[in-house]
């Protein structure tokens, strides 16, 4: 399974941002988001796994290969959240982590 990158540069609408994985659990992720080298905010989200697309044109997906996915903007407020402080991000992360218990 292809896991999420620990550090990456945003593309498209999040192009000016740098992302750094801070915490990971079997059910959740917490990323620090940097703008111009300074922490802008935190993103916390549920771990989501999806099949790898092997034929985009015909929408055919693998039955054996999977990857983790980072949330898109439409996912925030549903299974992903933006937090201004680390304390709030940690609280959300812990809440998601405890859902699995």
Give the tens place of pLDDT for each residue, 23-47: 999 999 999 999 999 999 999 999 9
Q: Specify the residue for token string 């609408």.
A: 13
Q: Does any domain span residue 80?
A: yes
In degrees rounded to 5, what are phi and psi of residue 87?
-60, -45
User: Residue 24: CB partners within 8 Å, gap ≥ 6?
Assistant: 30
Q: Does any domain span residue 53?
A: yes
Confidence of residue 50 (pLDDT cuts 50, 70, 90): confident
Give the tens place of pLDDT for each residue, 13-28: 888 899 999 999 999 9
**How many structural domains are present in the chain?**
1
User: Could you tell me the residue range of the domain that residue 82 belongs to?
Assistant: 7-99
Kindly tell me the burial class for residue 96, based on how many C-beta atoms sit within 10 Å of its own C-beta (0-12, 13-18, 19 or more). buried
| Rg for the chain, CA atoms, rounded | 15
Contact between 81 and 45 under an 8 Å Cβ cutoff? The reply is: yes
Q: Does any domain span residue 2?
A: no
Instruction: Answer whether residue 99 shows pLDDT above 90.
Output: no
Q: Does any domain span residue 71?
A: yes
């Amino acid at each position: 399974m292809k896991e999420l990158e620990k550090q990456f540069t945003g593309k498209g609408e999040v192009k000016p941002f740098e992302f750094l994985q801070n915490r990971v659990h079997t059910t959740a992720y917490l990323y620090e988001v940097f703008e111009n080298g300074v922490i802008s905010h935190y993103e916390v989200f549920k771990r989501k796994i999806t099949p790898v697309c092997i034929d985009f044109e015909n929408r055919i997906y693998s039955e054996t290969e999977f990857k983790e996915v980072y949330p898109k903007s439409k996912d925030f407020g549903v299974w992903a959240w933006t937090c201004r402080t680390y304390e709030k991000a940690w609280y959300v992360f812990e809440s998601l982590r405890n859902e699995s218990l």
